[in-house]
C-alpha cells in the first residue's frame, strides 16, 4: 500500500500541471497566430491554383500540378511546403520558449516550488510542445482538406505507384502522412527543449532551435556529407511519399520514427542532466 500512494500522488500532481500548461499555451494569442498562419498556407495555395488554373507539370512543389484534378492534393502540397520551413519555425518558437520563457518571466522558481519537481516540469513542457506539433500538423491537414473540397473536384486519386483509390482511402493516406509529419517534429522539439534549459533568454533559444533546423537541412543537401545524412534529424522529413503507394511502404516511416526517438532520448537526457543540476535564480 505504501508503494502505490506515491505513484498516485505523482499522477495527481502531473495531470493538473499538464492541464495548466496546455491551458496557458492555447490561451496565448501567439499560439493561435502561428496555427492560423499555418492553416492559411494551404488555403493560399488552393486559391492561387484556382485563380491561375493550376501549374505546369514538373514546376513548383510536389503535387502542385495535380491540384486541379483532385482537391485532396492541396494538403499534400501544403505539407511539402510547411515541413522544411514553417513547421520548424513554429515548433522552434514553442520549444525554445518552454523553459527559457518561464525563467525570463521569473516564474520558473515558483513552478518548481509548487511542488512540480524538475523532472515532472521538464516532461510536462515536452508533452506540451508535442501537443503543439500535433495541433500544427492538424491545422494544415484540416485547412487543406476543406480548401480542396470547396474549390476543386474530389474523386478517385492516383497514387505514386500508379494505382487508383477512392476519396476516403486517399483521405486515410493523407492522415498517415500527417502522422508522419507529426513524428518528424518530435526530435526537433526535444532539441529545442534542451536548448531552452541552457539560457534564460527565450528569443535566443528560439533562434538557436530554428537555425539548427535550417543547418541540418543545408547539411543534408550537400552530397559530400552523404555519410552524415542518415544521422540528421531532418533527413527523413520528406520521406512520406512511400505512404502514397499501393501497398503502403513503411520503411521510411519506421526509419524516421527510430531516428526521432533517438534524438528524443539523447536530447531528453541532456535536458534532464542540465535542468536537474541548474541553479534556478529566476
**pLDDT tens figures, 101-117:** 888 877 777 776 655 57
**Which residues does residue 165 pair with via DSSP β-bridges, in sequence order?**
157
The pLDDT value given to residue 119: 86
Please determine, for residue 153, whether its predicted confidence score (pLDDT) is greater than 90: no
Please determine, for residue 83, whether its predicted confidence score (pLDDT) is greater than 70: yes
Cis status of the peptide bond prior to 247, with omega within 30 of 0: yes
Greater model confidence, 167 or 49: 49
Q: Coil, strand, or helix at residue 157?
A: strand
Q: Which class for 207: exposed (0-12), middle (13-18), buried (19 or more C-beta within 10 A)?
A: middle
Please determine, for residue 192, whether its predicted confidence score (pLDDT) is greater than 80: yes
The pLDDT value given to residue 165: 86
- Name the pLDDT band for 59 (thresholds 50, 70, 90): low
Q: Coil, strand, or helix at residue 152?
A: coil
Q: Which residues, other chains included, contact 9 with Cβ-Cβ below 8 Å and sequence gap of 6+?
A: none
According to the per-residue pLDDT averaged within each range, which of 3-7, 114-118, 194-198 is highest? Answer: 194-198
For the chain, the average pLDDT equals 88
Joined together, the cell numbers standing for residue 162 give 500508379
The pLDDT value given to residue 12: 54
Please determine, for residue 10, whether its predicted confidence score (pLDDT) is greater than 70: no
The pLDDT value given to residue 116: 59
Please determine, for residue 226, whether its predicted confidence score (pLDDT) is greater than 90: yes
Cβ pair 155, 70 in contact under 8 A: yes
* Mean pLDDT within 118-142: 95
Tell me which residue has cell 494538403. 75
Q: What percent of the chain has pLDDT over 70?
A: 89
Amino acid at each position: 500500500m505504501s508503494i502505490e500512494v506515491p505513484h498516485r500522488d505523482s499522477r495527481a500532481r502531473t495531470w493538473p500541471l499538464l492541464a495548466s500548461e496546455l491551458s496557458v499555451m492555447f490561451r496565448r494569442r501567439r499560439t493561435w497566430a502561428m496555427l492560423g498562419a499555418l492553416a492559411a498556407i494551404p488555403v493560399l495555395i488552393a486559391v492561387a491554383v484556382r485563380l491561375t488554373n493550376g501549374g505546369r507539370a514538373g514546376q513548383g512543389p510536389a503535387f502542385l500540378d495535380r491540384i486541379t484534378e483532385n482537391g485532396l492534393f492541396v494538403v499534400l502540397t501544403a505539407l511539402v511546403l510547411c515541413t522544411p520551413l514553417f513547421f520548424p519555425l513554429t515548433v522552434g518558437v514553442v520549444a525554445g520558449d518552454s523553459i527559457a520563457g518561464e525563467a525570463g518571466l521569473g516564474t520558473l522558481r515558483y513552478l518548481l516550488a509548487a511542488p512540480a519537481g524538475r523532472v515532472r516540469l521538464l516532461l510536462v513542457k515536452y508533452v506540451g510542445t508535442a501537443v503543439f506539433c500535433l495541433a500544427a500538423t492538424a491545422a494544415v491537414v484540416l485547412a487543406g482538406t476543406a480548401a480542396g473540397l470547396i474549390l476543386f473536384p474530389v474523386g478517385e486519386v492516383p497514387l505514386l505507384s500508379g494505382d487508383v483509390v477512392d476519396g476516403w482511402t486517399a483521405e486515410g493516406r493523407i492522415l498517415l502522412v500527417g502522422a508522419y509529419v507529426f513524428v518528424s517534429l518530435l526530435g526537433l522539439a526535444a532539441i529545442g527543449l534542451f536548448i531552452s534549459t541552457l539560457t534564460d533568454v527565450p528569443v535566443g533559444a528560439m533562434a538557436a532551435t530554428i537555425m539548427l533546423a535550417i543547418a541540418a537541412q543545408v547539411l543534408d543537401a550537400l552530397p559530400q556529407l552523404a555519410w552524415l545524412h542518415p544521422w540528421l534529424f531532418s533527413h527523413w522529413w520528406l520521406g512520406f511519399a512511400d505512404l502514397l503507394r499501393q501497398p503502403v511502404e513503411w520503411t521510411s516511416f519506421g526509419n524516421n520514427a527510430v531516428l526521432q526517438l533517438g534524438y528524443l532520448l539523447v536530447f531528453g537526457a541532456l535536458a534532464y542532466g542540465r535542468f536537474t543540476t541548474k541553479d534556478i535564480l529566476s
